Amino acid sequence: MGLTALERVDLPDGQKLFRRWIVALAIIGIIMMFLPWVQNFRAKGTVTALDPAFRPQTVHATIPGRIEEWRVFEGDTVSFGDTIARLSEIKPEYLDPEIVPRTAEMRQAKSNSAGGYLEKVAALDEQIRNFRREQQNKLELARNKLAQSKLKVNTLQADLAQQEVQVSIAEYQRRRSDTLVTEGLKPLTDLEAKRLKEQEANAKYVKIANELDQARTDVEQAQIEINNVGPTYQGKIAKAMSDRASALTSYYNSVGDVAKLQIQESNYSIRQGYNYILAPQDGIVAKVLTPGIGETVKEGDAVVSILPSQFTAAVEIFVEPFNLPLVRQGQQVRFLFDGWPAVFFSGWPGLSYGTFVGEVVAVDNIIDSKGRYRVLVGPSDDGRDWPAALRPGSGAEGVALLETVPVWYELWRQLNAFPPDYYQDAGESEEVKTKAPKTRVVK
């Protein structure tokens, strides 16, 4: 059987080995193209606290003052309510060290003044009641006097009518006696007696008439007195009521002043408590921001920064808008923390070493100044505990795990700059969770 020249030529051993390697690598490459690949994207971030109340915070001066004493140093551990520094007042209206007791004395004096006005109101109320009783009594007396005067007028009118008859009789007897004396039938003494009797009757008539006029005058005066009783006492009552209203106004003003002084006293007492800058929670004094003795601080100036001693660690990562639609609540994220050695195999997270598992807690809906979105990730129960030595501000790199696809598909996607595949499970909702995942406290 004939052989071609090429077939008769023997290849060197090195070339044969190279050809075998090329074939083997090609077969391995083809096989690897069909291996599963977990799509992911990376984002840088920093460690923070899951609860905003336990994130690093600055302690501010509530009032302006002068620093008189420091009671802590940087790195000291403080408990809630511990004194960090003591301030002294610099505003003139608060310099008096006895301002609280003196304000209390002013309040007590004003309260006593209010009590005096209240007693005056009570006295005027009693005076008004007395005026009304006196008015009623005067009115009754005037009415009784009017009735008596009217009765006296009636009596005198009857007496006057009777006396008028007596005068007529006396005048008739005197004329008859005068005739009889002229005729010489009676002596002159009898005439004189009749004349005297007539004069007495006329005098009595005049007297009764005068008494009747006086009684009528008394009736008019009694009526006038009745008419004057009301206005007289109404004027007195009106003046007393006016004085009562003034006293009551002064009382209410004093009560208002007492309330204002009570507020001032309470404010002064509370303000004196602000002379001491207290630790808002358990933590470590990270940095003194206003050092020195005798330095003045304004209201709201930062004095020290405190790092809470206990907090639930979380990581805030920042993702590009291109990847934001792939982030959802509860999504798993792998972390590589600065200072902790780790090896991460992109596409095969199961082969990674030194990574820590977290899950998405919240996603911001507002883009930041650098055109990124903030995503807050907390610890997950599916992985090992996060390092206890993590502190806010430490760097971290997050790797969000997405869909599992063949390697060839991932290469094709990368070459075409397509976004990763993302499929939402059936029935899974995009509603915001109301509770964060279970977390562990880092001490």
How many other CB atoms are found less than 10 A from the CB of residue 43? 22
Show Cβ contacts of residue 223 under 8 Å, excluding neighbours closer than 6 positions. 146
Q: What is the pLDDT of residue 78?
A: 92
Q: Return d(Cα 345, Cα 351) in angstroms, integer.
A: 6
Q: Return d(Cα 46, Cα 337) in angstroms, integer.
A: 9
* Burial zone of 67 (CB within 10 Å; 0-12 exposed, 13-18 middle, 19+ buried): buried
Q: Return d(Cα 175, Cα 197) in angstroms, integer.
A: 12
Q: What is the pLDDT of residue 423?
A: 43
Answer yes or no: are the C-beta atoms of 229 and 55 closer than 8 Å: no
Q: What is the pLDDT of residue 212?
A: 82
Q: What is the pLDDT of residue 304?
A: 92
What phi-psi label fits residue 238: left (phi over 0), alpha (psi between -120 and 50 degrees) or beta?
A: alpha
Answer yes or no: are the C-beta atoms of 439 and 378 closer than 8 Å: yes
- Please report, for residues 9, 51, 74, 372, the alpha-carbon distance to residue 62 in angstroms, rounded to integers and kept in the order given: 96, 24, 21, 36
Identify the structural domains of the chain with CATH numbers, from first to last.
33-53+311-443 (2.40.30.170), 56-89+275-309 (2.40.50.100), 99-273 (1.10.287.2610)
Question: Could you give the angle at the alpha carbon of 182 between the alpha carbons of 177 and 186, nearest 5°?
Answer: 50
Query: What pairing do the DSSP bridges indicate for beta strands 302-308 and 395-406?
Result: unpaired
Q: What is the pLDDT of residue 428?
A: 43
pTM of the model: 0.58
How many other CB atoms are found less than 10 A from the CB of residue 40? 20
Question: Could you give the angle at the alpha carbon of 82 between the alpha carbons of 50 and 266, nearest 5°?
Answer: 105
Q: 30, 47, 2, 19: which is closest to 311 by C-alpha?
A: 47
Q: What are phi and psi of 39, to 5 degrees?
A: -70, 150
Q: Where are the beta strands (DSSP E) in 153-256?
A: none
Q: What is the pLDDT of residue 60?
A: 92
Q: What is the pLDDT of residues 262-291, one digit of tens each?
A: 999 999 899 888 899 999 989 899 888 888
For 215, the enclosing helix (H) or strand (E) is helix 188-273
Block means of pLDDT (10 residues each) for the chain, 443 residues, are 52 69 82 74 85 87 91 90 91 87 90 89 90 86 83 82 80 75 71 77 82 84 82 86 90 92 91 90 88 87 88 88 82 84 68 79 87 90 82 85 71 69 45 41 40
Q: What is the pLDDT of residue 61?
A: 92
Q: What is the pLDDT of residue 12?
A: 60
Q: What is the pLDDT of residue 259?
A: 93
* Burial zone of 100 (CB within 10 Å; 0-12 exposed, 13-18 middle, 19+ buried): middle
Show Cβ contacts of residue 443 under 8 Å, excluding neighbours closer than 6 positions. 309, 310, 388
Q: What is the pLDDT of residue 350?
A: 63
Q: Where are the beta strands (DSSP E) in 50-109?
A: 57-60, 65-70, 77-78, 83-88
